Amino acid sequence: MAGEIVYADLRHPGDGFSPAEKRHAPALCPRWHGVLLKVSALGHLILLVLVAVLSVQVFQGSLQPTATSVPWQGSETRGRNHTERCVISSLMRYFCRPRRESPAACAGCKLCPQDWQLHGDSCYRLSKEKGNWYQGKKGCESQESQLAVLRDRKEKEYIKNITGGGTQPVWIGLVSSHNKWRWVDNTSLNTKMFGALQEMDEGCGTLKDEVLENDICDGEHEWVCQKDPFQLSPSMAGDGEKCDAAV
């Protein structure tokens, strides 16, 4: 059998392939590329696991406040109510007179805002400026009150005292429309108690020296506002409540 003769290419020592064979040979990836792909796949798998675990924890955490928030809110509400009752109790000790039968217990009392004066069941305030009747009405309403509505002679006498003796007329909540005098709360004027006023198609009432008078509504006078007091009662403080002395 004839032997096969192989010629070596002495121009490119070290490899056994001709240039034509090298051009058609498949390209081989370096080994480290394969290692990198495996590490990358493993990293993606770990990230997916972490995302799944965190999602479960967040979902469970969103359900917990429903069960735990009620006791917390309840304790907060109880604490706030206790503080409010203690403050009211302190106010009663400061402003209200104690009952005769029990010096430690306070009777209920009525409180008026600053610059207001208490008389009977109402708080009164004389304006510091002058204006027409409509300005007085609006000024009282801006303070959550109304122009004074007189119910008896004692109330009329008291307004005389707080207005400097009644030497100057002041606006009260009396207005005439279509020859009928009515108070701003839509009640009728008691002519037997306060006397009759001259019939006017349009007019407004003043009080001067305990006498009701009529005037044009564009006149310039001070006015008297009237509002209900704040009723402070023992029931608001609560029975059996122990309050810190520092409150």
Task: Please report whether residue 237 resides in a domain.
Answer: no
Q: What is the SS3 string spanning 164-229?
A: CCCCCCEEEEEEEECCEEEECCCCECCHHHHCCCCCCCEEEEEEECCEEEEECCCCCEEEEEEECC
The identity of residue 95, as a single letter, is F
Using one digit for the tens of pLDDT, what is the confidence trace for 202-238?
Answer: 999 999 988 999 999 999 999 999 999 998 776 665 5
Task: Please report whether residue 165 resides in a domain.
Answer: yes
Residue 114 sits in the same domain as residue 226: yes
133 vs 240, more confident: 133
Residue 84 sits in the same domain as residue 168: no
Using one digit for the tens of pLDDT, what is the confidence trace for 29-65?
Answer: 667 667 777 778 787 788 887 777 777 666 555 545 4
Domain span at 203: 110-230
Residue 226 sits in the same domain as residue 149: yes
Verdict on whether the full-model pTM lies above 0.85 = no
Residue 161 sits in the same domain as residue 60: no
Task: Please report whether residue 178 resides in a domain.
Answer: yes
Task: Please report whether residue 242 resides in a domain.
Answer: no
As for how many domains the chain has, the answer is: 2
Residue 139 sits in the same domain as residue 199: yes
| Bridge partners for 179 per DSSP | none
Residue 115 sits in the same domain as residue 219: yes
Residue 71 sits in the same domain as residue 150: no
Is residue 221 a contact partner of residue 206, using CB atoms and an 8 Å limit?
yes
- State residue 71 phi and psi, 5-degree precision: -60, -35
